[in-house]
């Protein structure tokens, strides 16, 4: 992302007037700036020149490569990583696709980016999704928030773009070893995401902008010859001679291809049934469950920024918290949404799940975050749930208890954080962003319906979080139940090299639902990785022929 310097700066150096560069064009430099300077190109150049002890006119045109906020030690500063403007890497355009398709189940980030990477090599894909395209999903989300009506095939979790489309579009990831994160971000930016995502340390797009990006990505795939089908719920894997060759849909239609990629999200529970029917073994994996906590955003800003809170250049403050007691059963914040809303993310009638989202400007007066507790395989064993589906059973117990405690219509059970720690049911709760509304109650009774001591662990964690963020545990903070879909509690095993199921040739488990990703970018990276393996296998087969 280039930063233009003052064009009137005179050249320096040789007699021919050419500029003598004072920095290594291959090197990055980190500079620290005050709150008023991060968008001022002249200030950036001036700080770097001062740091290097050279005249400003000896600097080349600079490029901003990363920007972050440092609020430690009570002094808020911007940290910028800059370097000489580099030549942009050539874009890898999509080719006109042809031939026998790869069948992909799921139009979330794993499925879309798998198809995108295949199209770069001219390989055709057909993506199947049980939900609807992004615009049609809006009506069903309105049914959730305003009428408490759950459409099992179209909601915050199912449909074009997956669960991330209408829940913020957070792009922060630690999965840098899994692939080229920059490539994913550039693809999103090329299809309409703000270029700011290329430099922000914790990038996000916003639920108001991400739908258009997803639509543009799908249209690019369709223009190349791949296909995306909505309202296409898969019920069976078609097998021939021990190989996955296609899918059978709920309407009886059958689609055949050269390989099958299962890229469903963490909430497509019925997928496990047709995988097992095809002889694919599943296994349980650790996950986490808990609640959402909501604060007034100005309170979080004050805690995080101190006297700088309210400065025009500072965004709504985020936070990240973790607590690990001696027994190792920790609790942590998850999917923190500064300036956001809590939304109903249920996928089944009679069950209540909440999630968080925010728009690109993050200008809601509320901050919310998941506060969840690790659920280990030993916890499932103690509940006699040591099966591949044990975690789903535990999730359902919690979600159904929450729906019952809320009283219906997706009203959420809630409790002031201070009352929860005192083990005292709330009779009133603060105002909230959650549109279906809150019902004041005792959330510990809901959490303990699982049989796992979630409430006790969460109570201990909240007191630890108050010690690290003074003011966090307050009468203004409300716990909203329940946050149960942090990740899939089921893993679909695959070979570490071929990425295929060991039980069925040409079946590629992929993304969050298979247990190999956790978020938009990591799911996209996993989809691209699977695509590259498929392309490699196709090339090897062609050479062998």
User: At 163, is the secondary structure helix, strand, or coil?
Assistant: helix
Number of domains in the chain: 3
Q: Is residue 93 part of a domain?
A: no
The sheet carrying 28-33 orders its strands as 2-3, 62-70, 77-84, 28-33
- Considering the domain architecture, whether residues 532 and 431 belong to the same structural domain is answered as no
Q: What confidence score (pLDDT) does residue 36 get?
A: 87
Helices 210-224 and 134-147, packing angle to 10 deg = 150
User: At 88, is the secondary structure helix, strand, or coil?
Assistant: coil
Q: What confidence score (pLDDT) does residue 8 get?
A: 43
Backbone angles phi, psi at 275, to 5 degrees: -65, -45
- Considering the domain architecture, whether residues 294 and 404 belong to the same structural domain is answered as yes
What's the distance, Cα to Cα, between the start and end of the chain in Å?
Answer: 46
Using an 8 Å Cβ cutoff, are 259 and 244 in contact? yes
Which letter, b or e, does each residue of 173-204 get, where b requires 16 or more Cβ atoms within 10 Å of its Cβ?
A: bebeebbebebbbbbbbebbbbeebbbbebbb
Run of H or E residues at 246: strand 243-249
User: At 395, is the secondary structure helix, strand, or coil?
Assistant: helix
Q: Is residue 461 part of a domain?
A: yes
Q: Is residue 434 part of a domain?
A: yes
- Considering the domain architecture, whether residues 77 and 126 belong to the same structural domain is answered as no
CA angle 500, 502, 506 (to 5 degrees): 40
> In this structure, are strands 354-358 and 340-344 parallel, antiparallel, or unpaired?
antiparallel
Q: Is residue 92 part of a domain?
A: no
Q: What confidence score (pLDDT) does residue 537 get?
A: 86
Q: Is residue 273 part of a domain?
A: yes
- Considering the domain architecture, whether residues 362 and 412 belong to the same structural domain is answered as yes
Q: What confidence score (pLDDT) does residue 132 get?
A: 95
- Considering the domain architecture, whether residues 168 and 288 belong to the same structural domain is answered as no
Q: Is residue 460 part of a domain?
A: yes
- Considering the domain architecture, whether residues 108 and 75 belong to the same structural domain is answered as no
- Considering the domain architecture, whether residues 196 and 302 belong to the same structural domain is answered as no
Cα 259 from Cα 86, distance rounded (Å): 39
Cα 281 from Cα 49, distance rounded (Å): 60
What domain range is 211 assigned to?
A: 98-282+493-544
Which letter, b or e, does each residue of 519-536 get, where b requires 16 or more Cβ atoms within 10 Å of its Cβ?
A: bbbbbbbbbbbbbbbbbe
Q: Is residue 90 part of a domain?
A: no
Residue after which a domain boundary falls, among 462, 483, 504: 483
pLDDT tens string, the chain, 545 residues long: the values are 555 544 444 444 444 445 555 677 788 999 999 998 888 888 899 999 999 999 998 888 899 999 999 988 678 999 999 999 888 777 788 999 999 999 999 999 999 999 999 999 999 999 999 999 998 998 899 889 999 999 999 999 999 999 888 877 789 887 666 669 999 999 999 999 999 999 999 999 998 999 999 999 999 999 999 999 999 999 999 999 999 999 999 999 999 999 999 999 999 999 999 999 999 999 999 999 999 999 999 999 999 999 999 999 999 999 999 999 887 788 999 999 999 999 999 999 999 999 999 999 999 999 999 999 999 999 999 999 999 999 999 999 999 999 999 999 999 999 999 999 999 999 999 999 999 999 999 999 999 999 999 999 999 999 999 999 999 999 999 999 999 999 999 999 999 999 999 999 999 999 999 999 989 999 999 999 999 999 998 877 665 65
Note the pLDDT tens digit of each residue in 407-435: 999 999 999 999 999 999 999 999 999 99
Determine if the pTM surpasses 0.85.
yes
- Considering the domain architecture, whether residues 463 and 329 belong to the same structural domain is answered as yes
Closest by CA to 104, choosing from 491, 509, 494, is 509
Closest by CA to 129, choosing from 104, 156, 149, is 104
For residue 21, what is the domain's CATH number? 3.30.70
- Considering the domain architecture, whether residues 66 and 177 belong to the same structural domain is answered as no
- Considering the domain architecture, whether residues 531 and 476 belong to the same structural domain is answered as no
- Considering the domain architecture, whether residues 76 and 102 belong to the same structural domain is answered as no
CA angle 349, 524, 207 (to 5 degrees): 55
Using an 8 Å Cβ cutoff, are 192 and 209 in contact? yes
- Considering the domain architecture, whether residues 148 and 241 belong to the same structural domain is answered as yes
Q: Is residue 91 part of a domain?
A: no
Own/partner long-range contacts of 82-86 (Cβ < 8 Å, ≥24 apart): 82/3, 82/28, 82/29, 82/31, 82/44, 82/48, 83/23, 83/25, 83/26, 83/27, 83/28, 83/29, 84/21, 84/23, 84/25, 84/26, 84/60, 85/2, 85/60, 85/61, 86/25
Residue after which a domain boundary falls, among 49, 84, 119: 84
Residue after which a domain boundary falls, among 27, 58, 84: 84
Q: What confidence score (pLDDT) does residue 332 get?
A: 97
Q: What confidence score (pLDDT) does residue 543 get?
A: 58
Q: What confidence score (pLDDT) does residue 463 get?
A: 97
For residue 213, what is the domain's CATH number? 3.50.50.60
Cα 5 from Cα 239, distance rounded (Å): 61
Own/partner long-range contacts of 87-91 (Cβ < 8 Å, ≥24 apart): 91/186, 91/190
């Amino acid at each position: 992302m280039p930063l233009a310097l003052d064009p009137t700066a005179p050249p320096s150096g040789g007699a021919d007037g050419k500029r003598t560069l004072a920095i290594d064009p291959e090197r990055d430099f980190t500079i620290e700036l005050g709150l008023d300077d991060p968008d001022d190109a002249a200030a950036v150049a001036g700080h770097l020149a001062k740091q290097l002890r050279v005249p400003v006119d000896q600097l080349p045109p600079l490029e901003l490569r990363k920007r972050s906020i440092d609020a430690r030690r009570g002094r808020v500063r911007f940290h910028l990583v800059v370097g000489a403007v580099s030549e942009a890497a050539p874009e890898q355009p999509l080719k006109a696709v042809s031939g026998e398709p790869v069948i992909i189940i799921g139009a979330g980030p794993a499925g879309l980016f798998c198809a995108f990477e295949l199209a770069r090599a001219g390989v055709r894909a057909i993506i199947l999704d049980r939900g609807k395209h992004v615009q049609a999903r809006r009506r069903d989300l309105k049914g959730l928030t305003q009428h408490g009506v759950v459409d099992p095939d179209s909601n915050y979790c199912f449909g074009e773009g997956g669960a991330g489309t209408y829940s913020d579009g957070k792009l922060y990831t630690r999965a840098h070893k899994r692939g080229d994160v920059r490539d994913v971000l550039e693809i999103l930016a090329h299809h309409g995401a703000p270029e700011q995502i290329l430099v922000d340390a914790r990038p996000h797009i916003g639920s108001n902008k991400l739908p258009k990006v997803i639509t543009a990505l799908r249209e690019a795939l369709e223009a190349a010859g791949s296909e995306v089908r909505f309202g296409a719920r898969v019920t069976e894997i078609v097998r021939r001679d021990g190989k996955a060759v296609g899918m059978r849909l709920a309407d009886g239609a059958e689609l055949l291809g050269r390989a099958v990629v299962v890229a469903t999200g963490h909430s497509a529970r019925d997928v496990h049934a047709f995988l097992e029917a095809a002889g694919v073994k599943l296994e349980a994996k650790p996950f986490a469950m808990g609640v959402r906590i909501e604060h007034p955003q100005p309170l979080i800003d004050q805690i995080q920024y101190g006297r700088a809170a309210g400065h025009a250049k500072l965004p709504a403050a985020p936070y990240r918290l973790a607590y690990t007691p001696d027994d190792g059963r920790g609790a942590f914040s998850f999917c923190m949404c500064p300036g956001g809303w809590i939304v109903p993310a249920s996928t089944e009638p009679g069950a209540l799940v909440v999630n968080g989202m925010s728009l690109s400007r993050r200008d809601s007066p509320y901050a919310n975050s998941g506060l969840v507790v690790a659920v280990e395989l030993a916890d499932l064993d103690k509940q006699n749930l040591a099966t591949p589906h044990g975690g789903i059973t535990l999730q359902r117990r919690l979600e159904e208890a929450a729906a019952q405690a809320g009283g219906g219509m997706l009203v959420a059970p809630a409790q002031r954080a201070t009352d929860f720690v005192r083990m005292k049911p709330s009779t009133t709760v603060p105002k909230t962003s959650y549109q279906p509304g809150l019902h004041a109650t005792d959330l510990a009774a809901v959490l303990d319906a699982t049989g796992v001591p979630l409430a006790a662990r969460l109570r201990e964690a909240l007191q630890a979080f108050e010690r690290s963020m003074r003011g966090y545990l307050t009468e203004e903070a409300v716990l909203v139940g329940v946050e149960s879909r942090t990740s899939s509690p089921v893993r679909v095993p695959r070979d570490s090299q071929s990425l295929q199921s060991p039980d069925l040739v040409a079946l590629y488990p992929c993304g969050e639902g298979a247990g190999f990703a956790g978020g938009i970018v990591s799911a996209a990276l996993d989809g691209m990785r699977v695509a590259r393996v498929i392309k490699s296998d196709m090339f090897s087969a062609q050479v062998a022929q």
